[in-house]
Amino acid sequence: MSFTIFSSLAKIKDEKKTLNKIKISNLIRYVILIIFKILKPYLKYIIIACAKKKTIIFHI
């Protein structure tokens, strides 16, 4: 009897761990999306700036 209760408690703990992992991964994805939305207007300019730097390096 006590063994079954223990095993069910262990299952609940494992489920909580997986839920926390899912929450963390969703949070990271959400933060990346927010950062991307904020930087999207500037992304073009960042790419152009990087391209210019690369062309300068290529010219040298």
Residue 21: pLDDT over 80: yes
Distances (CA, A) of 55 to 28, 45, 46: 34, 15, 14
Note whether 39 and 46 are within 8 A (CB). yes
Which residue in this structure is represented by tokens 């730097």? 53
pTM of the shown model: 0.45
pLDDT tens, 33-58? Answer: 998 888 888 877 877 887 787 766 55
Distances (CA, A) of 2 to 11, 14, 37: 14, 18, 52
Q: What are the structure tokens assigned to 24, written together?
A: 């963390």
List the domain boundaries for the chain: 1-60
